Amino acid sequence: MPIKTWLTETLGIRVPIVQGGMQWVGVAELASAVSNAGGLGILTALTQPSPDALRKEIQRCKQMTSKPFGVNITLLPSMTLKPGDYALYAQAIIDEGVKVVETAGNNPGPVIKQLKEAGVTVIHKCTSIRHALSAQKLGVDCLSIDGFEAAGHVGEADVGTLILLAKAKKVLTIPFIASGGMADGRSVAAALALGAVGANMGTRFMCTAESPIHHDIKLQIVKGTENDTALMLRSFKNTARIYKNKIADQVTAIEKRGGAEFKDVAALVSGARGKTVYEAGDSEAGVWSSGQSMALIDDVPTCEAMLAKIEGEVEQIIGGLGSLVVPAASARL
């Protein structure tokens, strides 16, 4: 029996699961595979070197799926982008007729306005209730509530998904999906119980057959546990959760010394260097994002097999929970 939520109905997808925006990972091969499997695939805008390259990637994705897919734009400190670049990427998305965008990061107001004026459905990802309320005021359609377990930029407040979702249900008036720690049917069922209309998954999709990263990195994720991540860029208030490797140790050691400037770590943390991890399959070549959900990942399935499995698990878990509620007369005191 299909799971029906605001997300499936509004986006026209079968499974209430969105593939998170992931630098160097969110390309047409993966996004189309997720959409073809019934979820919402997401291209990462900034993985493309220019707005024109993004236009071509959107066109390529359209050739690979007839199902809806979205694009992620993340607005965070960058070594390569100028502030005006985001509007140009957003315009490329609008011009290519993409109907859903995942925004994330700092000062998203202008990009959200640009997308909403063009009739795009906006899912804004944020790591705090304060930012969720601001985005709601800016007119986004849905929030992606990103707990501390997540990969990538986790914010500075260190609040886990469990608390954030329950609080979101209390204070938000628009729908929200769960992000951070989502990797199997059990986590998705829990998110739905907490009031979410679906889940966002990043690390889980990195570790699928269609994910464009080197197989050895997928095996590293399979081996990884909840203790194999590190937090970098804390001292610059731009905290990111990454895989705990030697480069992560070097960066955190520099930050711990105190008084570090960004230029002291720039060469170590650069995305261009991180990209070589995925290309060469050398997990020590640079920094790369990974969430605590590695603990729950033990295979490299196709997106189709993975989403079908999660769908079945969610159904079974939600159905099973119903049997815990017994008529008052037969309940034991």
- Choice between 271 and 281, CB closer to ligand NAD: 271
Residue of the chain from 21, 155, 181, 286 that contacts ligand NAD (CB under 6 A): 21
CB of 240 to ligand NAD, least distance (A): 5
Does residue 44 interact with ligand NAD by CB under 6 A?
yes
| C-alpha–C-alpha distance, residues 30 and 15, integer Å | 16
| C-alpha–C-alpha distance, residues 289 and 204, integer Å | 12
Size of the site for ligand NAD (CB under 6 A): 24
CB of 104 to ligand NAD, least distance (A): 7
Q: How far is CA 163 from CA 124, 135, 146, 148, 299, in A?
A: 19, 19, 11, 10, 29
Span 209-238, contacts to ligand NAD by CB under 6 A: 233, 236, 238
Cβ-proximal residues to 325 (8 Å cutoff; 6+ apart), any chain: none
CB of 77 to ligand NAD, least distance (A): 3
Residue of the chain from 13, 27, 46, 196 that contacts ligand NAD (CB under 6 A): 46
CB of 332 to ligand NAD, least distance (A): 49
Which residue bears the tokens 């993985």? 47
Does residue 40 interact with ligand NAD by CB under 6 A?
no
Does residue 70 interact with ligand NAD by CB under 6 A?
no
Side chain identity at residue 89, one-letter code:
Y
CB of 281 to ligand NAD, least distance (A): 18
Does residue 22 interact with ligand NAD by CB under 6 A?
yes
| C-alpha–C-alpha distance, residues 127 and 90, integer Å | 22
Does residue 23 interact with ligand NAD by CB under 6 A?
yes
CB of 278 to ligand NAD, least distance (A): 11
Among candidate residues 205, 208, 246, 207, the one with its CA nearest the CA of residue 228: 246
Side chain identity at residue 72, one-letter code:
N
Span 236-275, contacts to ligand NAD by CB under 6 A: 236, 238, 240, 262, 269-272, 274
CB of 125 to ligand NAD, least distance (A): 9
| C-alpha–C-alpha distance, residues 71 and 59, integer Å | 12
Does residue 76 interact with ligand NAD by CB under 6 A?
yes
CB of 42 to ligand NAD, least distance (A): 9
- Choice between 74 and 121, CB closer to ligand NAD: 74
Helices (H), the chain: 6-11, 28-36, 51-64, 85-95, 109-117, 129-138, 161-171, 185-193, 203-206, 215-223, 246-257, 262-269, 271-280, 303-322
- Choice between 83 and 312, CB closer to ligand NAD: 83
Q: Output the residue with the shortest Cβ distance to ligand NAD.
A: 271
Q: How many CB atoms lie within 10 A of CB 152?
A: 25
Buried b (16+ CB within 10 A) or exposed e, 99-109: bbbbbbbeebe
| C-alpha–C-alpha distance, residues 164 and 99, integer Å | 27
Instruction: Kindly indicate which of the ranges 15-23, 130-138, 185-193, 316-324 contains the residues binding ligand NAD, using the contact rule CB under 6 A.
Output: 15-23
Among candidate residues 138, 177, 135, the one with its CA nearest the CA of residue 6: 177
CB of 327 to ligand NAD, least distance (A): 48
- Choice between 44 and 203, CB closer to ligand NAD: 44
Name the pairing type of β-strands 152-153 and 176-179.
unpaired
Residue of the chain from 74, 121, 179, 220 that contacts ligand NAD (CB under 6 A): 74
The residues that touch ligand NAD, with contacts defined as CB under 6 A, are 21-23, 44, 46, 72, 74, 76-80, 152, 233, 236, 238, 240, 262, 269-272, 274, 289
